């Protein structure tokens, strides 16, 4: 693969697929040099990499210039929670994929956005609150 990875799973395109079609895929990459980890892909694409320990993987995740959302997967929820606290992203999901909920704020950090939308925090992002102070005579 030109992006420096190996496709390890790929769904078949439906027979009705016409035009440009990209089948959902999982690509295994070397974490040190893959464009799939440094750029946003915006497709039905999962990228898998391995590391020597948590510190190496957290550093790799945090080295991205983007920070919309991330997922931490583990059979140990306490460990996953500890790791998620150190991942620089607007949202971190444990043992599930990224998703939004209109009741909760969502938004990225770094080059993935500024501020929040949805939820109470999102409403305040759209508010233009004026301060008025009147001096007593």
Structure tokens at 36: 């799939």
Question: Would you give per-residue pLDDT tens digits along the chain (137 residues)?
Answer: 555 789 999 998 777 878 877 888 999 988 667 888 877 777 788 888 888 999 998 998 898 888 888 889 899 999 999 999 999 999 999 999 888 888 888 888 898 887 787 777 777 777 777 787 888 98
Q: What pLDDT score was predicted for residue 82?
A: 95
CA distance 106 to 121: 9
Distances (CA, A) of 90 to 23, 38, 105: 27, 17, 9
CA distance 126 to 69: 22
Structure tokens at 122: 């999102």
- Residue located via tokens 């999962």: 46
Q: What pLDDT score was predicted for residue 44?
A: 85
Q: What pLDDT score was predicted for residue 3?
A: 56
Q: What pLDDT score was predicted for residue 8?
A: 92
Total count of residues recorded for the chain = 137
CA distance 60 to 38: 9
Which neighbouring-strand residues pair with 94? 72
Q: What pLDDT score was predicted for residue 99?
A: 87
| Tally of helices (H runs) and strands (E runs) in the chain | 4, 7
User: In the chain, how long is the greatest CA-to-CA distance?
Assistant: 79
């Amino acid at each position: 693969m030109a992006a420096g990875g190996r496709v390890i799973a790929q769904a078949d395109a439906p027979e009705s697929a016409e035009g440009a079609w990209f089948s959902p895929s999982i690509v295994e990459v070397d974490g040190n040099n893959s464009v799939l980890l440094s750029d946003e892909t915006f497709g039905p694409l999962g990228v898998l990499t391995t590391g020597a320990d948590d510190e190496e993987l957290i550093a790799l995740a945090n080295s991205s210039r983007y920070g919309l959302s991330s997922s931490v997967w583990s059979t140990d929820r306490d460990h996953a929670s500890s790791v998620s606290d150190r991942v620089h992203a607007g949202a971190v999901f444990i043992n599930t994929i990224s998703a939004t909920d209109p009741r909760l704020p969502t938004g990225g950090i770094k080059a993935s956005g500024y501020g929040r939308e949805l939820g109470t925090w999102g409403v305040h992002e759209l508010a233009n609150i004026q301060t008025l102070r009147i001096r007593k005579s």
